[in-house]
Amino acid sequence: MSASDASSSSKSQAASGGIGIANLPNQLHKIVTKKGTNFSLMVVGESGTGKTTFINTLLTTELIEPLDDASRRKKQLDKTVDINIHKAELEEKMFNVKLNVVDTPGFGDYVDNHDCWLPVVDFIENQYEQYLRQEQQPVRKGIVDMRVHACLYFIRPNGHTLKPLDVRAMKAIGARVNLIPVIAKADTLSPAALRQFKKRVMDVIDAQSIRIYQSPIESEDEHSTQRNKDITSAMPFAIIGSDREVKTADGRHVKGRLYPWGVAEVENDQHCDFKKLRSLLIRTHMLDLISTTEEVHYDKYRTTQMKTRKFGEPKPRKVDNKKFREEEETLRTRFTEKVKLEENRFRQWEQKLIAERDRLNKDLEQEHNLVKQLESEIEAIANSGSPNTKFFRK
C-alpha cells in the first residue's frame, strides 16, 4: 500500500507544482528567437510565369529586380540556365530570418530544353555536399547552410496537362528537395477550367510517381487540422502575383491585377490560393519544411554518399553536362589550333635560319674559291719565271 501511496503522492506533486519541465518550450522559444533561422527558397519555371513577382509579393518588398532590356536580350538566345541567389534578412517582432531566394533564369526557355533541370539538381546536391563537408571538419562553428528548404515549381497553365518537360524536371527535383508545384498566372483560367487543370496535374503527379511535399495534417487543435486539410486539398496552388495596389470597383485598395473587366485580388481566396501558399511557406509550415529537408532529404543524400565514400574524401566530380562538354571540346580544339599555329611559326623561323645559314655558307665557299683561284694565279705567275717575277721575289 505504501508504494502506491508514494506513487500517487508523487503524481499529485507533479499535478500541483511540477518540477518545471513544462517550461522547456519557453526556453527553446527564447533560444530560437535569439538565434534566428535560415531559410532557402528556390523558384523554378519558364520565364514569364511570374516567379519574380511572386517573390516580391510574398515578401512585400522588391527583392528581385526585373531585368533591364540589355540583360534580357543577352539571355534570349543564350541557351543556358543560370542560378542566381538573392539574399535578404527579414525581421518581424524581434525575430529574424536569413532568407535566400534562388532564381533560375533560362529554365525551359529555349528550343532545346533537354536536360535543362540538371543545373538546378546540381545546385541542390552541391548545397548538401557543402554542408556534408563542413560537418566533417574539425571546427564546426559557423557552418554556412545553403540547403534548399523548399522548391516552388511554376507550371504554366495550358489548360490541358503537365508538359513532358514539367514531368521530367519535377521528378528529378522532387526526389531531392521539398517540391511544391504551383500553377502560375492562375487568372487566365476560369474557375471550372482551373479545377479541372488541378485535378489533371495531380493525376499526372500520381501516375508518374513525382514526389511532392506533403504537409502534416494532424495537429493539436481542430482549427489547425482543418486549416492544414484546406491547404493540402488546394495543391497545386493556383497563384497570381502583384506588387502593386489597385482600387477595386467597390472602392477597396487591394494588392491585385487591374484588368479592363475587373480586379483579380491576390489575397482573396475566391480568386487564388496565394494566402494558403504563404501560410504554408511562412506562417505555419516553415519549420516543417526545414526539418523535412534536414531529416529526410539531406539524410538520404548523406547516407548514399557515405556508403560509397570515406570520411573526409571529396566528391568525385561528374562532368557529364552536355553543354559543358561541348564547351570543353571547343576550348580544346582552340587550344590545339593555337599550339599548331605556334609550332608552324617556329618551324618557318627555323627554315629561314637554315636557309640563311646555307646562303651564308655558300657565299663563304664562293669567297673561298675565289681566294684559292687568286692564290693559284699567283703561284702560276711566280713559277712562270718571267722577268717581272724578280719584282715579286723582292
Partner 1 sequence: MAPSAPSINSTMSSRMATPRPSSYRNKFEKRGMTYNIMLVGQSGLGRRTFLNTLCEREVIPPSEAPNPDSANVADPMKFDTYEVPLEEEGTRVSLTVIDTPGFGDGLDNTSCFKQLQDYIEAQFDEVLVEESRVKRNRKYRDHRIHVLIYFIAPTGHSLRELDIELIRRLGEYVNIIPVIGRADSLTVDELATFKQNVMRDIEYYKLPVYNFCWDESDSEALKENRDIMDFIPFSVVTCDEVLDNEYGSVRVRRYPWGTIEIDDESQCDFALLRYIMLNSHIADLINYTEDVLYENYRTKKLEVGGFGEPEAEDGDEETSHTTDSKKPE
Amino acid at 20: G
Nearest distance, CB of residue 142 and partner 1, angstroms: 40
Cβ proximity to partner 1: between 57 and 100 the closer is 57
Interaction mask 26-55, partner 1, x per CB under 8 A: --------------------xxxx------
* Cβ partners under 8 Å of residue 389, min gap 6: 381, 382
24 vs 111 by CB, closer to partner 1:
111
Q: How far is the CB of 345 from partner 1 (least distance, A)?
A: 40
The DSSP code for 61 is S
Residue 200 binding partner 1, by CB under 8 A = yes
Alpha-carbon torsion (232, 233, 234, 235), positive or negative: positive
- Closest approach of partner 1 to the CB of residue 208, in Å: 6
Least distance to partner 1, CB of residue 34, Å: 43
Chain positions 205 to 224 lying near partner 1, rule: CB under 8 A, are: 206-208
Residue window 99-118: x/- pattern of binding to partner 1, with contact defined by CB under 8 A: ----------xxxxxx----
Task: Identify which of residues 69 and 320 has a Cβ nearer to partner 1 in the complex.
Answer: 69
The answer to whether residue 241 forms part of the interface with partner 1 (CB under 8 A) is: no
Applying the rule CB under 8 A, the residues between 254 and 283 that interact with partner 1 are 257-265, 270-271
Q: Indicate which single residue of 86, 163, 229, 275 sits in contact with partner 1 (rule: CB under 8 A).
A: 163
Greatest Cα pair distance, the chain, in angstroms, is 165
In the bound state with partner 1, the residue whose beta carbon lies nearer, of 114 and 357, is 114
Contact pick of 36, 38, 79, 229 for partner 1 (by CB under 8 A) = 79
Choose, by CB under 8 A, the member of 8, 27, 136, 158 that binds partner 1.
Answer: 158
Which one of the spans 1-9, 36-44, 132-140, 166-174 is the region binding partner 1 (CB under 8 A)?
A: 166-174
Binding-site member from 83, 118, 204, 217 for partner 1 (CB under 8 A): 204
Cell reading at 159: 489548360
Cβ neighbour number for residue 24 with a 10 Å cutoff = 9
Picking from 302, 288, 305, the residue whose alpha carbon sits closest to that of residue 231 is 288
* Smallest separation, CB 242 to partner 1 (Å): 9
Binding residue for partner 1, selected from 107, 119, 183, 187, defined by CB under 8 A: 187
Tell me the three cell numbers of residue 107. Answer: 529554365
Total residues contacting partner 1 (rule CB under 8 A)?
A: 52
Contact 198, 181 (CB under 8 A): no
Task: Count Cβ neighbours within 10 Å for each residue of 238-259 and write b for 16 or more, e otherwise.
Answer: bbbbbbeebeeeeeeebbbbee
Rounded to the nearest 10 degrees, the angle between the axes of helix 299-308 and helix 118-135 is: 70
Q: Say whether residue 71 binds partner 1 (CB under 8 A).
A: no
Query: Interface with partner 1 by CB under 8 A: which range of 30-38, 75-83, 126-134, 371-379?
Result: 75-83
- Cβ pair 174, 181 in contact under 8 A: no
Report the nearest approach of partner 1 to the CB of residue 31 (Å).
Answer: 45
Q: Positive or negative, the Cα torsion across 235, 240, 242, 246?
A: negative
- Residue 224 burial (10 A CB sphere; 0-12, 13-18, 19+): middle
The CA-CA-CA angle for residues 320, 325, 329, to 5°, reads 150
CA 299, distance to chain mean position in Å, is: 20
Span of 124-132, 152-160, 312-320, 352-360 interacting with partner 1 by CB under 8 A: 152-160
Minimum CB–partner distance for residue 72 and partner 1 (Å)? 6
- Is residue 174 a contact point for partner 1 (CB under 8 A)? no
The single residue listed with the C-alpha cell 472602392 is 251
List of residues 6+ apart from 45 with CB closer than 8 A: 51, 104, 107, 108, 152, 153, 154, 155, 156, 184
d(CA 342, CA 355): 20
* Site residues, partner 1 (CB under 8 A): 46-49, 67, 69, 72-73, 76-77, 79, 109-114, 156-165, 167-168, 171, 185, 187-188, 190-191, 200, 203-204, 206-208, 257-265, 270-271
